[in-house]
Structure 1
Amino acid sequence: MLNSLTGAIESGLLYALMALGVYITFRILDFPDLTVDGSFATGGAVAAILITNGTPVALAVVAAFFAGGIAGAITGLLHTKGKINGLLSGILMMIALYSINLRIMGRPNISILDTEPLFSSIDNIWVKLIVIAICVFLVKFLLDGFLRTDLGLSLRATGDNARMIRSFGANTDTTKILGISLSNGLVALSGALIAQQTGFADISMGIGMIVIGLASVIIGEAIFGARTVFWATLAAVLGSIIYRIVVALALRVEWLDASDLKLITAIIVIVALMVPTINRSIKQKSLAKRRSAELAAQAAAPRMGGPR
């Protein structure tokens, strides 16, 4: 049980980078980017092929980040310059990346079990988790800092009201391309780390990543809220960890198999989406009852205080 829990926390931290990328497009830009499913595999493919050819692991991870950023930039260009619908732009790039990833790897999968992952020199699992957490939160704080700069504020404003920000002279096409590129760079970075954790990169490793990323963001926001950028990014990171822990616990149920992972993910997302709606409905009903009681008390007051 303890090994399962620590493994879930480690996976949650590595997938948290992908959740941060999804947060940028999903919450900040309000852009339905399906490139994620392709760029996640791109990160794993680039890292795997570089590592097997003798490239230092850290450099391979950085290259994976830039490869994902290029993929995201192309999606942004298709949408902004090519005037293609945002959802369709992501789908087209995701399809294209399938063939591109095959070209990068030369075959459907690459094993890197005989290489040393980025954090392999750390023997103690708890120290390893602390080091990974420090790296993930460093990325989170860098993202927080960027979103507070003038360019970051323009990026946030573009998602809130693109027409208004254009009226102030900002180039919304540039901010969209930048945001989508940064998002997919983080997704590819996560893919590169996950490939090292699992020991292989596979052409299908990115299938369903957008759903997992959305689940992490939604779960985090439902539990921790998203009052500020700091809390929103923190919620995405913690939501990723909680999601992985829930999946690990669910898979320990005897009548569930590993093949049920996608079903479990769908159920978790459904529940996470319904909880805020249910809470809102309960609050509205409670408020309506309170107002009805107040109106009844006000209506009864003159009769109670009148002549007998």
Structure 2
Amino acid sequence: MIVDLIDQAFLFLPLALGIYFSYSILKIPDLTVEGSFILGASLFAAVLERGGGPILATVSALAGGGLSGLTVSLIQSKNRISPLIAGILMVFILNALSLIIMQTPLISLSTKLFLFEGTFLPLSRFTALVLITVLVGSVLAWVLHSRFGLVLRAYGQNRVLLALYGKNPEIYRRTGLIIGNMLAALSGILTAYANGYADVNMGIGLALIGIGTVILGHQLQHHFLKKTSEVLGLLFCVLGVTLYFLVFNLFLMIGVEPLYLKLLVGVFLIAILWNRAPEALRGGNL
């Protein structure tokens, strides 16, 4: 059970980190990640099925996620459209685009190749997931501690003041949303590989679950630690995802019906959002 739990958490974690990047760092409620998750899975599966290798499929899917982030940032440009509305519109568009790319609601992967198989790094799926998670987390921590990351955090805190210091806020909005949606696409890639298929409906509701796990980690951080930092935020995001899947699997083990489980998850998310929700979710940056 422990291995399966960690496996599920690692598949979902890039999406949660993408949400953490947009909600906690940029203070933007970006629902586009749900569509980018599906787009990443669909591009990965479609390229594989049409003869492309796993590397090409992965690069294509990540590029698709990045373009999704760029597009939604342009829609939001200069606050012409609310980030929340822009994200909803993008999810609608990306779901349709994913179906066009796949040309069928579901693609079953005939190949079991993973990124490292057949190369000089013949790793198991579990080991590869661990390495990818550590690599992604390390890169994000490095970015957030860099000078550029400092400006990104300043954008989330006060973008008007950022403009007064001669920085273009739109550049940082675009970069942050590109990073967040590429992470969501990476989660879609890993999920498609793990499941052996890509389904246009596989990402429905994941954005809200991701928000819940990020806020759960945020609450735990504030409960156990008085100080805050971006690295600690990333670590507690990982903890929030792990706890969510732990509780989810425990409910399944005791025989809770999946329908009732969704109801419990919905109530759980309401409780988390009601209690000390981030400013972006309370409407402060809409």
Q: TM-score range by the shorter chain?
A: 0.7 to 0.9
Residue correspondence of structure 1 range 98-247 to structure 2 within 5 A: 98-112=95-109, 114-118=110-114, 128-225=125-222, 227-247=228-248
Match of 1:31 in 2: 28
Would the aligned equivalents of 2:112 and 2:196 in 1 still touch at CA under 8 Å? Answer: no
Q: Larger % of helix: which?
A: 1
Determine the structure 2 residue equivalent to 1:250: 251
Structure 1 unmatched ranges of 5 or more: 122-126, 278-308
Pick from 85, 88, 91 the counterpart of residue 88 of structure 1: 85
CA distance in 2, matches of 1:33, 1:163: 20
1:6 matched residue in structure 2 = 3
Paired with 2:89 and 2:128, the residues of 1 have a C-alpha distance of 37
Deviation at 1:81, TM superposition (A): 5.1
Counterpart residue identity of residue 235, structure 1: F
What's the RMSD between the two structures over aligned residues? 2.3
> What TM-score does the superposition give when structure 1 sets the normalisation length?
0.81
Is the Cα contact below 8 Å between 1:17 and 1:237 reproduced in 2? no
User: Partner of 1:58 in structure 2?
Assistant: 55
What is the CA-CA distance between 1:189 and the residue it aligns to? Answer: 0.7
Q: 3-state SS of the aligned residue for 2:198?
A: strand
Which residue number in structure 1 is paired with residue 265 of structure 2?
265
Percent of residue pairs bearing the same amino acid type: 33
Structure 2: where are the runs of 5+ without partners?
A: 118-123, 278-286
Aligned pairs, how many?
269
Instruction: State the shift of 1:221 in Å.
Output: 2.1
CA distance in 1, matches of 2:213, 2:258: 19
Residues 188-231 of structure 1, C-alpha deviations (whole Å, 9 max, x = no match): 11011101111111111111111111122122222244711101
> Residues 57-78 of structure 1, C-alpha deviation per residue, up to 9 Å, x if partnerless?
2332232111111011100000
TM-aligned CA deviation for residue 272 of structure 1 = 3.7
Alpha-carbon shift at residue 162 of structure 1 (Å): 0.5
1:79-118 deviations in whole A, cap 9, x for unaligned? Answer: 0157111111111111111211111101111111x31152
Give the aligned partner of residue 124 of structure 1. Answer: none
The offset of 1:133, in angstroms, is 1.9
Instruction: Give the CA deviation at 1:185.
Output: 0.6
The residue aligned with 1:21 is 18
Per-residue CA deviations over 1:151-191 (Å, capped at 9, x if unaligned) read 22111111100111111001101100111111011001101
